[in-house]
Amino acid sequence: MGLISGTLLSFNEDLLYTIPIMLLIIPALNSLIGDLSTVLVSRLTTHLYIGTIPPKIQKSERLIEDFYGLIITLLLSLASLLFLGYLIGIISGIRIVNPLLMILIIVATILLIFFIMFLTLFIGAIFLFKRGKDPNNFLIPFVTSLADFLTPFFLILFIIIFI
Amino acid sequence: MENQDSKSKIVKETFPSELISIIGDILAGILLSLLILPFNSFPVLILMVPALLSLRGNLSGPFIARTSRDLIIGDFSKRTWIENVLATYTLSIFTAIFIGIFSIILNFAFFKLFILPTVHFILIPIISIVLTLLISIPCSTGLNYLAFKKGLNPNNIVNPVMTAIDDFSTVFFFLLTIIMLGVP
């Protein structure tokens, strides 16, 4: 997945030279979605081990609480990331193209990926746990790779469509 | 610990560490956009960067999660930690070799940029990831232990903080490796 993501970036090398702010924020965006998904997997695994979430695909109070906790963290972190990224971009003289539209594209990308991740990881954790596997070992590598692929993919896709 | 976390506790514990992660990753982004972008071999190098960042997350993520799970359920010991470290190193080296091999194949198939000697495709990921883990493993173990001792949930804190340290180290050691190997 990482190599596919690299190929995607390498194919769109002109885009990176034209919108260099993308290269500045891509590692932070990747890790933001990766971190929160990893926190989610770790929490889900511990919940399943200690029995606070039943190994069934159903809504529970604990799951909803985790969802809201993580989405609030995601939005606060995204706001900080955009503020810091653009501030550092301005200070270091990195060219910023169409800042408002870029912000909208980044927010839409991250929210879309978070929803995809939340559903996939919840179902994946239940599935693995029921088969006696540790969801940490399977889902965390999957999460990182998926985040590293989906973030540049949707970002490049939305930039090509809207800018 | 986990079953008592309200959404405000999750935000309070995760957001500050996520902020540190963002700062570390923006520093990694600066290295990428200001120091690696000008390299002539950038189109080939950028092939490997996301894979290395993924590899770092794929290996140190489960390492951190297993350590914090062991601490929470009371299974943490010197033996489990050493097994965890050895597994992480072995997997890293094998995966780094695969990253190198697949980068060579992708370059031959799609880009056909013969700026880098073939052996560099293998050496760059191995050296970068081994150097990164030298920083990552002691830091994450220490942080996990400290968070647990202070009554905080390591699951909420350690991963985001370590992402900052790891992603910055990965890009930094990647840069150091390509400088050491004299990549154009």
- Give the domains, in start order, of chain B with CATH numbers: 2-180 (1.10.357.20)
| Residue A54 scores a pLDDT above 60 | yes
ipTM of the complex: 0.80
Which residue among B18, B54, B68 places its CB closest to the CB of A2? B54
**CA-based torsion, B168, B173, B175, B176: positive or negative:** positive
| Residue A116 scores a pLDDT above 80 | yes
Ramachandran sector of residue B74 (left: φ over 0; alpha: ψ -120 to 50; beta: rest): left
Q: Do A10 and B164 touch (CB under 8 A)?
A: no
Quick one: pLDDT band at residue B165, thresholds 50, 70, 90? confident
Quick one: pLDDT band at residue B123, thresholds 50, 70, 90? very high
A21-50 vs A61-91: helix crossing angle, rounded to 10: 160
Quick one: pLDDT band at residue B154, thresholds 50, 70, 90? confident
- The DSSP call for residue A56 is S
Quick one: pLDDT band at residue B69, thresholds 50, 70, 90? confident
Q: Do B15 and A137 touch (CB under 8 A)?
A: no
Taking the CA of residue A10 and the nearest CA in chain B, the distance in Å comes to: 5
For chain B, what percent of residues have pLDDT higher than 70? 97
Which single residue is written with the structure tokens 């000008």? B38
Q: Following DSSP, what letter does each residue of B93-107 receive, concatenated?
A: HHHHHHHHHHHHHHI
**Domain boundaries defined on chain A:** 2-162
Q: What angle do CA A124, A130, A133 make, to 5 degrees?
A: 75
| Predicted model pTM | 0.77
Residues of A in contact with B68 (CB under 8 A): 42
Residues of A in contact with B57 (CB under 8 A): 31, 34, 38, 140-141, 143-144, 148
Q: Following DSSP, what letter does each residue of A82-101 receive, concatenated?
A: HHHHHHHHHHTT----SHHH
Q: Following DSSP, what letter does each residue of B29-53 receive, concatenated?
A: HHIIIIIITTSTTHHHHHHHHHHHH
Taking the CA of residue B115 and the nearest CA in chain A, the distance in Å comes to: 15
| Residue A122 and residue A57 in contact, taking contact as beta carbons nearer than 8 Å | yes
Residues 124-143 of B with CB under 8 A from A: none
- Please, what's the b/e burial string for B84-100 (b: 16 or more CB within 10 A of its CB; e: otherwise)? bbeebbebbeebbeebb
Q: Distance between CA B175 and CA B169 in Å, rounded?
A: 10
What's the average model confidence in pLDDT over B44-64?
80
Q: Do A35 and B160 touch (CB under 8 A)?
A: yes
Residues of A in contact with B160 (CB under 8 A): 31, 35, 39
Q: Do A66 and B7 touch (CB under 8 A)?
A: yes
What's the average model confidence in pLDDT over A81-108?
84
A54 Cβ under 8 Å from any chain B Cβ = no
Q: Distance between CA A110 and CA B110 in Å, rounded?
A: 29
Q: Distance between CA B82 and CA A14 in Å, rounded?
A: 45
| Residue B2 scores a pLDDT above 80 | no
Quick one: pLDDT band at residue B125, thresholds 50, 70, 90? very high
Mutate to test the interface with A, among B33, B63, B136, B169 (most CBs of A within 10 A): B33
Which single residue is written with the structure tokens 């992402």? B163
pLDDT in tens, A127-159: 999 998 888 888 887 887 788 788 888 888 888
Cβ neighbours for B139, distance < 8 A, ≥ 6 positions apart: B162, B165
| Residue A41 scores a pLDDT above 70 | yes
Q: Distance between CA A123 and CA A132 in Å, rounded?
A: 15
Quick one: pLDDT band at residue B1, thresholds 50, 70, 90? low
pLDDT in tens, B18-33: 888 788 888 888 888 7
| Residue A124 scores a pLDDT above 90 | yes
What's the average model confidence in pLDDT over B10-25?
82
Taking Cα atoms as reference points, which of B65, B14, B2 lies closest to residue A74? Answer: B14
What's the average model confidence in pLDDT over A58-71?
89
